[in-house]
Chains A and B, each alone.
Chain A
Amino acid sequence: DTGVSQNPRHKITKRGQNVTFRCDPISEHNRLYWYRQTLGQGPEFLTYFQNEAQLEKSRLLSDRFSAERPKGSFSTLEIQRTEQGDSAMYLCASSLAGFGYTFGSGTRLTVV
């Protein structure tokens, strides 16, 4: 599989619980991005890594959100104390030096 892989595909959680999503980018891609998409809206940028360094973080990313890319390969996005407003599709994309973005299928989070 040479695409961007995201796990899990779907996650249902109770409000207040913590959740963690994983993204495995294309192996030679050095840049990795997280986006959030709510129903009927375009994706919103959350954060961006170049190799293992988190270079930019959106104001949308509150203190409850944290993302890591420990070895410059896969990345995790954790949401602590989930709220109903966190319900969305979380998309991961990777690129090589900013060219040719490839998106994963996303993780759909539902907070009940």
Chain B
Amino acid sequence: KNEVEQSPQNLTAQEGEFITINCSYSVGISALHWLQQHPGGGIVSLFMLSSGKKKHGRLIATINIQEKHSSLHITASHPRDSAVYICAAKDSNYQLIWGAGTKLIIKP
């Protein structure tokens, strides 16, 4: 069992739909990152959170420390949101433990 698990692995939706990507982790963490990677592109850090909720534009990230679960939401999704979204847990040794990623495709 992976220490960081994401679901779904693949998600295809229509433009405008509300998107939710889930992340569960089994390790003790000091923070959890949500990252975005476009095809052939670099990795962009979207959020780092250790409690509660953060919002940036149409993106919302939440974390429940007790349940060891985090979600990334995208409101009013757009084709340019198509990318791989990665959840990564930062452990006490400063390493990032990566989820397998969720490949999101938003169709116009």
- Bound: A104/B41 CA distance, A: 10
Which of A16-24, A42-50, A60-68, A73-81 is near enough to bind chain B? A42-50
Query: Given A42-B100, A98-B30, are A91 and B95 neighbors across the interface (CB < 8 Å)?
Result: no
Which of B10-18, B42-50, B53-61, B62-70 is near enough to bind chain A? B42-50
In the assembled complex, which residues on chain B have CB atoms less than 8 Å from the CB atom of A33?
96
Please name the residue on chain A nearest to B97 by beta carbon.
Answer: A45
Q: Which of A53-105 contact B (CB under 8 A)?
A: 55-56, 91, 93, 98-105
Interface of B: prevailing SS: strand
In the assembled complex, which residues on chain A have CB atoms less than 8 Å from the CB atom of B99?
42
- Bound: A106/B96 CA distance, A: 17
Most buried by A among B33, B35, B42, B95: B42
Residues A98 and B42 in contact, CB atoms below 8 Å apart:
no
Residues B48 and A42 in contact, CB atoms below 8 Å apart:
no
Please name the residue on chain B nearest to A45 by beta carbon.
Answer: B95
Residues B48 and A103 in contact, CB atoms below 8 Å apart:
no
Residues B48 and A56 in contact, CB atoms below 8 Å apart:
no
- Bound: A101/B96 CA distance, A: 10
- Bound: A93/B37 CA distance, A: 14
Residues B96 and A100 in contact, CB atoms below 8 Å apart:
no
Select which of A43, A98, A100 is within 8 A of B94 by beta carbon. A98
Residues A105 and B94 in contact, CB atoms below 8 Å apart:
no
Residues B45 and A56 in contact, CB atoms below 8 Å apart:
no
Residues B33 and A101 in contact, CB atoms below 8 Å apart:
yes
Give B37 Cβ to nearest chain A Cβ, in Å.
Answer: 9
Please name the residue on chain B nearest to A97 by beta carbon.
Answer: B94
Select which of B30, B44, B98 is within 8 A of A103 by beta carbon. B44
Select which of A55, A93, A101 is within 8 A of B48 by beta carbon. A101
Given contacts A33-B96, A43-B98, 6 further A-B contacts (CB under 8 A): A42-B86, A42-B99, A43-B96, A45-B96, A48-B94, A91-B43
- Bound: A98/B30 CA distance, A: 10
